[in-house]
Chains A and B, each alone.
Chain A
Amino acid sequence: MNKSKSLGVALASVLLGGGALALAGFALASATPHQSALNCVPSQSSPNTCTLTLSTFPDSLAGVHGKGGGPHPDWVSYSNDNLVVPANTTVNVTIDQYDSGGSLNNSFFDQVMGTVGGTATIDGKVVTSVDPTNVGHTFTLRGIPGSGKNIFVSVPLPADSNTKQVTIGEGQYTTPVVVQFSFKTGSKGVYEWNCEFPCGGSREGQFGEAMSTYGYMSGTLTVN
């Protein structure tokens, strides 16, 4: 084989192989389940303020996991996973907590941390901490966007002991515990939030299954 022909073959193999890889990559990227981002709704009244509304369910029937709750209907879940908020803004969060509860692994998480005023409003009552033996889930947000300041927000979501039945999506639940709090976003970056109440499977720390699977009890917070 002469040089030019060899070069042709070399180029061909790079193009063919690279092309195949690129195609595979696109296929993969589109195949992996990215749930729709939940954008923070800007409030009309006050500037630099927006509102996020989330829910936590004892199963996946009401979330965004598709018909019949998707692959794991019985897993606990948040209603959304990818939250998008603007930078340097006060975010008012409302979480409807529909799940029962128990004791925390780490009673550290019974406190309200990192919110505006260090408090949260639970069913209209302003609190700084809750009973660690009766927690349903937590909303715990963290991350360092580079050299900037660490952000850490953690709010316990008490167990739901109401009895009145409601139906959301395909799920049957009791009326929720409503937790409200607000925090200030810092600089741009990708942060991560998840539940710190051990509500997954597995033997060590109960952090398997729903806790270790993207899009159930954890998600990202994109600040832009």
Chain B
Amino acid sequence: MTTSNKKNPYRGMFLTWLVLTIAGVIVSIYAPSRLMPRSMSDNMHLTVLTMIVFSVAAAPVAAGIYAFAIHALRHWTHKGEAVPAAGPVVRENAVVVTTWLLVSTLLTVFLLIWGLGALAVDNGSSSKNPLVVDVTGQQWVWSFSYPGTHVQSNELYLPVGREVEFRVTSDDITHGFWIANMGVQVDANAGTWTTIHTTPNQLGTFDIRCTQFCGLNHAFMVTQGHVVTAQQFTTWLDSQPQRA
């Protein structure tokens, strides 16, 4: 180490950076999909993918900071109680500043381009006749109705593979309609409609939680939804009580 320091004092820092970066990249690739709820829609796939990309992009930067900090603590700290002698006088270094700006700008631009692209995909409505579901938030219950069918339910049933358009409103104060497994979230506002689109692509059950603080029992404003096959969906619709 000491000899290598003589050769190149920053070799240690570089190695630390390399190790941390590799570790970071590995974690970035494997962690998101395992830490987040099971993906059940195209939006959620996109979300997880974006998280992986951003984490990979951020790993070398964070690693750099930590590598520097570790190196500084190991090699550049002043030993002893006496007042340290002055360090080297470096007031400006145009090259370093410009490079730093350039790199951070490039990273930001990359994130932006990816983000805007992902946003376009995220908001895009792929289908001509989406299944419309009217979502009503009320302290502290969600209710779902299927226009044209006179069916109103407290659990959400969706056919797999068909785009859904949620039209969300509230009966009292603002709630946050969030399907934890589908990466879609929008507030339910009194007197206003907000809409989100998603296409469920996995069969199964998912949780719906309120993400906008809505008072006393906010924590209990939860319900479940089910993604079922198309004809299971129609059978379910028919089985429901028809409301005037």
Residue B215 at the chain A interface, CB threshold 8 Å: yes
The interface residues of chain B lying within 8 Å CB-to-CB of A201 are none
B37 vs chain A, min Cβ distance (A):
11
Question: Nearest CB to that of B220 among chain A residues?
Answer: A192
Given A144-B207, A204-B172, A205-B139: A108 and B217 interface contact (C-beta under 8 Å): no
| Known A105-B138, A152-B154; contact A142-B173, beta-carbon cutoff 8 A | no
Q: Does A211 contact B (CB under 8 A)?
A: yes
Q: B residues 178-235 with Cβ under 8 Å of A? A: 190, 207, 215-217, 219-220, 222-224
Q: Are B154 and A207 in contact (CB under 8 A)?
A: no
- Minimum Cβ distance to chain A for residue B157 (Å): 13
Is A142 in contact with B138, judged by CB distance below 8 angstroms?
no
How far is A154 from B173 in the complex, measured between Cα atoms in Å?
21
Interface assignment of A218: CB less than 8 Å from any CB of chain B: yes
A92 at the interface (CB under 8 A from B): no
Q: Which chain A residues in 160-216 approach chain B with CB under 8 Å?
A: 191-192, 194, 196, 198, 204-207, 211-214
Known: A211-B139, A213-B216. A154 touches B154 (CB 8 A): yes
Write out the residue numbers on chain B whose beta carbons fall within 8 Å of the beta carbon of A36.
none
A89-120 interface code vs B (CB 8 A; 1 in, 0 out):
00000000000000001111001010000000
Q: How far is the CB of A142 from chain B (nearest CB, A)?
A: 6
- How many whole Å from A57's CB to the nearest CB in chain B? 19
**Whole-angstrom distance between the alpha carbons of A214 and B138 in the complex?**
18
Within 8 A of B (CB), among A26-66: none
Task: Say yes or no: B220 contacts A207, CB within 8 Å.
Answer: no
**Residues on A with beta carbons closer than 8 Å to the beta carbon of B173:** 204-205, 207
Q: Report if A69 contacts B (CB, 8 A).
A: no
Cross-interface CB contact of A106 among B171, B190, B220, cutoff 8 Å: B171
Instruction: Give Cα distance in the complex from A213 to B143, angstroms.
Output: 23
A145 vs chain B, min Cβ distance (A): 10
Q: Is the CB of B207 within 8 A of A196?
A: no
B54 within 8 A of A: no
The 8 sampled A-B contact pairs (Cβ below 8 Å) are: A144-B224, A150-B155, A152-B154, A192-B140, A194-B140, A207-B173, A213-B216, A218-B217
